[in-house]
Structure 1
Amino acid sequence: MVNWIVTHWMELAGTLFALIYLYLSIRENIWLWLFGFLTSFLYLIIFFQSRLYADMGLQFYYLIISIYGWFHWMGRRNGIKRIETNLATTSVGGKQAVLLFMATAVIMLIIYVALKTLPQLLAIPESELPVADAFTTAAGIVATWMLARKILENWLIWIVANTVSFGMYIYKDLYVTSFLFLVYTIMAVVGYYQWKRNM
């Protein structure tokens, strides 16, 4: 057991930080962005080692969006010492939903093409799950932008993306991470209703 923990310490730490991030997201607490940054840093390494290159690239995006989200939410706190943000939760309209869907599809296509061509150019092993990897990465990019903007429906995208990720990580024998994404899926449902109630 101790050897397993030592071998998988990075995945365990990343999972712990991710659960804290998820809890703080649901609570609309600005410190979610710090834990999101720490989670992304660790999973960047984990996904590189697991040859999930699109998910690895997504972690770079998460690092940047965590900084953006921190400052976007920081400017809308309830007073100087408060950790809750005063940024209002919004909902997508029909036109915005279509644009977000199209953005997800275009990003997914670009990532898929990159996953099929870049490994040969870089002389690294190919992605084993290019379609799922591209989809979850594209959905994660859009959903995290929506989270930073406090758009309610980010949780609905996370429900779908996390369900696909759960299966992908089981396939890659990342059992701790697959457990994390099972929890993510369940808590995305909780987050959706919590934010909707707070609106």
Structure 2
Amino acid sequence: MTNIIVEWLLDNKIELLGAILGLSYIYFSIKQHILTWPTGLLTSLLYVVVFYNSKLYADMGLQAYYVVISIYGWYFWVKGKKQNEKKVAVKSTRKILWIKLLVVSIFLYAILFYILSKHTNSDVPHMDSMTTALSLVATWMLARKYLEHWLIWIFVDAFSVGLYLYKGLWATVFLFIVYTIMAVLGYLEWEKDLKNKQKDPKLAFE
């Protein structure tokens, strides 16, 4: 039994390390800590390999995007704050932005589905395209500190649990169950921060 466990750990060491870093990433993002971005960047680099080996090509491309957006988010969280702010403030998503994001999500889904169904051997093009399109939008919203990005993550993470079960990525299944729970906690934490700001703007920067 011990040998089986050790063998599995060795065979899945990249996925396991990515899962551990991924938990750190979600914790730091809930706390609005700048370490969100370097841990997210490292997690994404590891999962490029994991998803390539599992033929989840849209998810693999998503991880490459995460590398880029991690650099952008890192920069924005450091440089995007106003002069009187200690950190970039959480904000709510306006209706007009929701409409734009919906259009972008549908557009991304259509492109990804076409590529996966026509030019790859993906066996889950619909699911892979949908989760990837929504994840692209949610990560941009995180970088800009829109509260409701957590709501998208709750859906995507819960849905992804089923996808990774199908693919037999057990460490990643566990990771995304935890992601789902932590996304709920993240929403509540950021919502509290936003309400404090609305009551007293000074509290958002303490």
Alignment TM-score, normalising by the size of structure 2: 0.89
RMSD: 1.5
Counterpart CA distance in 2 for 1:45 and 1:160 is 24
Segments of 4+ moved more than 3 angstroms: 76-79
Measure, in 1, the Cα distance between the counterparts of 2:86 and 2:80: 5
Q: 1:187 to 1:3 in 2, by over 3 A?
A: same
User: Residue 139 of structure 1 aligns to which amino acid in structure 2?
Assistant: L
Letter paired with 1:42: L
Pick from 181, 185, 189 the counterpart of residue 176 of structure 2: 181
Candidates 5, 18, 26, aligned match of 2:22: 18
How has the CA–CA distance of structure 1 residues 153 and 56 changed in structure 2, closer, same or farther, with 3 Å as cutoff?
same
TM (norm. structure 1) is 0.92
Q: CA deviation at 1:78?
A: 9.7
Matched residue, 1:160: 155
Aligned residue in 1 for 2:76: 72
Q: For 2:8 and 2:137, how far apart are their aligned partners in 1?
A: 35
Aligned match of 2:119: 118
Structure 2 CA distance for aligned equivalents of residues 56 and 164 of structure 1: 17
Q: Distance in 2 between matches of 1:139 and 1:183?
A: 19
Unaligned runs of 5+ residues in structure 1 are: 120-125
Aligned length: 189
Following the alignment from structure 1 to structure 2, what is the Cα–Cα distance between the partners of residues 72 and 94? 23
Displacement, 1:93?
Answer: 1.4
User: Which of 123, 127, 134 matches 1:128?
Assistant: 123
Distance change in 2, residues 1:85/1:180 (3 Å):
farther
Percent identical: 45
Q: Does the CA-based 8 Å contact 1:76-1:85 persist in structure 2?
A: no
8 A Cα contact 2:81 2:89, kept in partner: no
Q: Does 1:140 align with 2:135?
A: yes
> 2:36 matched to which residue of 1?
32
CA distance, structure 2, for counterparts of residue 14 and residue 103 of structure 1: 28
Once the two structures are superposed, what CA deviation does each residue of 1:130-171 show, in whole Å capped at 9, x if it has no partner? 000000100010000000000000000001111111100000
- The CA distance in 2 between the partners of 1:39 and 1:93, in whole Å, is 30
The alpha carbon displacement at 1:92 in A equals: 0.9
Q: Kindly name which structure, 1 or 2, has the bigger radius of gyration based on alpha carbons.
A: 2
Residue of structure 1 in register with 2:55 after alignment: 51
Asked if 1:97 corresponds to 2:95, the answer is no
The alpha carbon displacement at 1:102 in A equals 1.2
Instruction: Answer whether contact 1:72 1:148 (CA < 8 A) is retained.
Output: yes
Task: Provide Cα deviations, 1:110-145, integer angstroms capped at 9, x if missing partner.
Answer: 1000101222xxxxxx11110000001000100000
2:167 to 151, 172, 179: 172
Query: Once the 2 structures are TM-superposed, how far is the Cα of residue 86 of structure 1 from its aligned partner?
Result: 1.2
